């Protein structure tokens, strides 16, 4: 089965807000994984920059991803994101080309 939609989201946090941002991002993991269309959802931290985070997400359909982006906890974050981030979130929407065989 190949997921219908992949999202990679890069977030560059303000150094003085790192702990707060990391707590917020970690709090996204469990509720997102519980969403009906979520296939895979992982938070990563850069090995070379402790303030650079990214989410790797696979979704059953683009509709599922769009519904995820409307979740209250994400909308709340996006409303105040620039208090925690050095620059805007970089969202990269992708389509998986190789087989997803796990």
Q: What confidence tier does 95 reach under pLDDT thresholds 50, 70, 90? A: confident
Instruction: Tell whether 44 is covered by a domain.
Output: yes
Give the number of domains in the chain: 1
Give residue for tokens 């997400």.
Answer: 57
Instruction: Tell whether 52 is covered by a domain.
Output: yes
Instruction: Tell whether 101 is covered by a domain.
Output: no
Instruction: Tell whether 24 is covered by a domain.
Output: yes
Provide the residue range defining the domain that includes 71: 5-94
Residue-wise pLDDT for 37-84, tens only, equals 999 999 999 999 999 999 999 999 999 999 999 999 999 999 999 999
Q: Could you give the CA distance from residue 21 to residue 94 in angstroms, rounded to a whole number?
A: 25
Q: What confidence tier does 100 reach under pLDDT thresholds 50, 70, 90? A: low
Q: Could you give the CA distance from residue 36 to residue 68 in angstroms, rounded to a whole number?
A: 10
Q: What confidence tier does 3 reach under pLDDT thresholds 50, 70, 90? A: low
Instruction: Tell whether 102 is covered by a domain.
Output: no
Identify which has the larger pLDDT, 2 or 82: 82
The CATH number linked to 42 is 3.30.70.100
Instruction: Tell whether 76 is covered by a domain.
Output: yes
Residue 4 in contact with residue 62, Cβ under 8 Å? yes
């Amino acid at each position: 089965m190949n997921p219908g939609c992949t999202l990679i989201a890069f977030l560059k946090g303000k150094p003085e807000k790192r702990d707060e941002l990391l707590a917020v991002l970690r709090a996204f993991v469990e509720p997102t994984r519980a969403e009906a269309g979520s296939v895979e959802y992982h938070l990563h931290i850069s090995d070379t920059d402790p303030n650079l985070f990214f989410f790797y997400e696979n979704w059953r359909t683009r509709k599922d991803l769009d519904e995820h982006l409307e979740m209250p906890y994400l909308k709340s974050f996006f409303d105040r994101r620039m208090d925690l981030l050095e620059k805007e979130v970089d969202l990269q929407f992708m389509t998986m080309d190789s087989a997803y065989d796990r």
